[in-house]
């Protein structure tokens, strides 16, 4: 029995393309893999606190040496990290805001990219500890950034591939829904292409 961790980050509750396509993917996965457990973490509907000096202090204090206050502060991060370790598959809805990820998704990353927890430093440099997991990232962009003249402005994909790889999540597949600001025809074309890609990833 597999477990999916679904992370949605769009601030839009309605008409969100990234939510629509992650939902389609997860539904088709469940249809093909009955019994799959899905855990959803909605970092827009339930925003995570941004890091503070107190948060960092709790992170860098060994668990058995934390004060009661530090233990309480670290509790949220510990639960987010555990969700990652428990998951077999991670599905992320990542709309592009100002050429990068949403602040909500960045806050989630800040809580799970933990030295000594999800990565460590070895003799040859950093080593990611979240291994053996598959990641699917569904992007949603107004323009076209996967290729062409705007490709250099895509800091979303390059950042996610880098930071997730740093914690050991290196098996990543990106699915792009692009050209969403190019009218209704553009949206229909993008959704059709994304559905086709999902069917290719999850053959019947």
Known binding-site residue numbers for FMN: 10, 16-18, 96-99
DSSP 133-153: -EEEEEEE-SS--SSSTTGGG
Cα→Cα distances 116→30, 173, 183, Å: 34, 26, 47
- Tell me the binding residues: 10, 16-18, 96-99
* Beta carbons of 174 and 140 less than 8 angstroms apart: no
Q: 199 Cβ partners below 8 Å, 6+ apart? A: 28
By C-alpha distance, which of 73, 34, 18, 70 is closest to 50?
73
Question: Structure tokens of 70?
Answer: 């530090």
**How far is Cα 92 from Cα 5, in angstroms, rounded to an integer?**
8
Question: Structure tokens of 14?
Answer: 């309605």
Q: 151 Cβ partners below 8 Å, 6+ apart? A: 145
DSSP3 helix / strand / coil % (the chain, rounded to 5)? 45, 20, 35
């Amino acid at each position: 029995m597999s477990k999916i961790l679904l992370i949605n980050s769009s601030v839009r509750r309605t008409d969100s393309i990234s939510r629509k396509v992650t939902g389609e993917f997860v539904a088709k996965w469940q249809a093909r893999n009955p019994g799959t457990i899905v855990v959803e973490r909605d970092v827009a509907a339930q925003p995570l606190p941004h890091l503070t000096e107190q948060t960092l202090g709790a992170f860098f204090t060994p668990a058995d040496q934390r004060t009661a206050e530090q233990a309480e502060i670290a509790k949220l991060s510990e639960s987010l990290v555990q969700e990652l370790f428990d998951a077999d598959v991670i599905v992320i809805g990542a709309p592009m805001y100002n050429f990068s990820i949403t602040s909500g998704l960045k806050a989630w990353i800040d809580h799970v990219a933990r030295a000594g927890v999800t990565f460590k430093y070895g003799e040859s440099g950093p080593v990611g500890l979240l291994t053996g997991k598959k990641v699917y990232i569904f992007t949603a962009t107004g323009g076209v950034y996967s290729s062409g003249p705007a490709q250099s402005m895509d800091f979303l994909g390059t950042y996610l591939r880098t930071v997730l790889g740093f914690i050991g999540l290196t098996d990543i597949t990106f699915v792009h829904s692009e050209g969403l600001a190019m009218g209704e025809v553009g949206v229909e074309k993008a959704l059709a292409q994304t559905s086709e890609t999902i069917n290719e990833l999850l053959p019947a």
